[in-house]
């Protein structure tokens, strides 16, 4: 956490919103697959771009990443990041038991649908609490090294803030914990604006 710029109250407020969004996402996923799923948000950090690779994940780590742009009153980019083994577990969670064959197109579509549910649930939780208009774009999936994906998100999307919000997500399904992280890369000033709206 960048303690020089963000207070514990601000981080706790975002965590509360993330827990509400995560709970809503878990409910939607459970209804979709007909089996109980829960989500936990154990930690939230706000780090400078240069510290992410040292504190969160080495830049040469192979990952799957689904990118979605956030439009409306607070613009930025969401990157849903998982390691390949976690992606496989999430796909198996989402797909019916009768589908056994490997199908790359179906797997990618399934993972993007999962992320669409998660991000939409987070944005709805924020929108309802502070009455702002937030819209997400169609998700796109990439498979590459973590550093390359994070860098390309900055390069392709013009100017973004140096600080990144990392929301750790854990899906609990049939006794297993499946780890993922949601990275929010805001436009400059968006985090400050969001905290001001939230009154923290």
- The bridge status of strand 62-72 relative to strand 140-145 is antiparallel
pLDDT score of 73? 82
Residue with tokens 């990157």: 79
What mean pLDDT is predicted for residues 108-135?
88
Model confidence at 153: pLDDT above 90: no
Give residue 4's pLDDT band: very low, low, confident or very high (50, 70, 90): very low
Q: State the DSSP H helix or E strand holding residue 45, giving kind and residue range, or none if neither.
A: strand 44-48
pLDDT score of 87? 94
Tell whether 39 is covered by a domain: yes
Using CA atoms, how far residue 166 sits from 28, 31, 104, in Å, is: 23, 27, 28
What mean pLDDT is predicted for residues 124-152?
88
Cα–Cα distance, 67 to 79 (Å, whole number): 5
Tell whether 92 is covered by a domain: yes
Tell whether 171 is covered by a domain: yes
Tell whether 2 is covered by a domain: no
Which residue(s) pair with 72 in the sheet? 134
- Predicted TM-score (pTM) of the model is 0.89
Span 88-116, pLDDT tens digits? 999 999 987 655 567 888 899 999 999 99
Give me the chain's average pLDDT, please.
Answer: 88
Span 35-69, pLDDT tens digits? 999 999 878 999 988 889 988 899 999 999 999 99
What mean pLDDT is predicted for residues 184-194?
87
Total domain count for the chain? 1
- What CATH number should be reported for the domain holding residue 35? 3.40.1550.10
Contacts of residue 82, Cβ cutoff 8 Å, sequence gap at least 6: 63, 64, 65, 90, 179, 180, 181
Tell whether 141 is covered by a domain: yes
Question: What 8-state DSSP symbol labels residue 25?
Answer: H
Give residue 1's pLDDT band: very low, low, confident or very high (50, 70, 90): very low
The answer to whether the CB of 116 falls within 8 A of the CB of 136 is yes
Tell whether 1 is covered by a domain: no
Tell whether 138 is covered by a domain: yes
Tell whether 3 is covered by a domain: no
Cα–Cα distance, 168 to 164 (Å, whole number): 13
Question: What 8-state DSSP symbol labels residue 92?
Answer: H
The whole domain housing 134 covers 8-198
pLDDT score of 3? 44
């Amino acid at each position: 956490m960048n303690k020089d710029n963000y207070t514990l109250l601000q981080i706790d407020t975002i965590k509360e919103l993330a827990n509400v969004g995560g709970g809503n996402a878990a409910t939607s996923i459970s209804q979709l697959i007909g089996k109980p799923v829960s989500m936990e948000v154990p930690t939230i950090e706000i780090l400078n771009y240069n510290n992410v690779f040292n504190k969160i994940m080495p830049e040469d780590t192979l990952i799957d990443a689904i990118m979605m742009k956030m439009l409306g009153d607070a613009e930025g980019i969401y990157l849903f990041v998982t390691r390949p083994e976690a992606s496989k577990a999430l796909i198996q969670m989402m797909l019916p038991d009768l589908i056994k064959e490997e199908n790359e197109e179906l797997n990618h579509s399934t993972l993007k649908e999962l992320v669409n549910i998660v991000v939409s649930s987070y944005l709805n939780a924020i929108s309802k609490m502070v009455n702002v208009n937030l819209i997400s774009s169609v998700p796109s999936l990439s498979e590459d090294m973590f550093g390359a994906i994070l860098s390309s998100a900055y390069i392709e999307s013009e100017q973004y803030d140096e600080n990144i919000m990392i929301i750790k997500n854990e899906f609990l399904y049939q006794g297993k914990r499946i780890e993922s992280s949601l990275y929010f890369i805001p436009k400059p000033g968006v985090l400050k604006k969001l905290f001001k709206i939230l009154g923290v």
